[in-house]
Structure 1
Amino acid sequence: MTSIPVQKQISQAFESLSVETEGPDLLDQTAAVGTWLALIGATDGLLTLMVRHTSASLLIQENADPDVQVDMLDALDRLAPRNQPYAHEVEGPDDMPAHIKSALTQTSLSIPVKDGRMLLGTWQGIYLVEHRDRPHHREIALHFIGTMTG
Structure 2
Amino acid sequence: MIKAFMLSLRQYVKTRNGVPMGATHSLRNMLYRAFGAGSFATFWHYWNPIWGYYLSRYIMRPLNIYLPKALAVWITFLFSGALHDLAVSLIKWQLIVFFTPWFGLMGALALVSTPKRLSYTAAPWLVRATTNALLLGVSLMVTFALENLLAQHWAV
TM-score w.r.t. length of structure 2: 0.28
Q: Relative contact order (C-alpha < 8 Å, sep 6+): which is higher?
A: 1
* TM-score normalised by length of structure 1: 0.29
- Judging by fraction of residues, say which structure has more strand: 1
Indicate the structure with greater helix content: 2
Bigger Rg, structure 1 or 2: 1
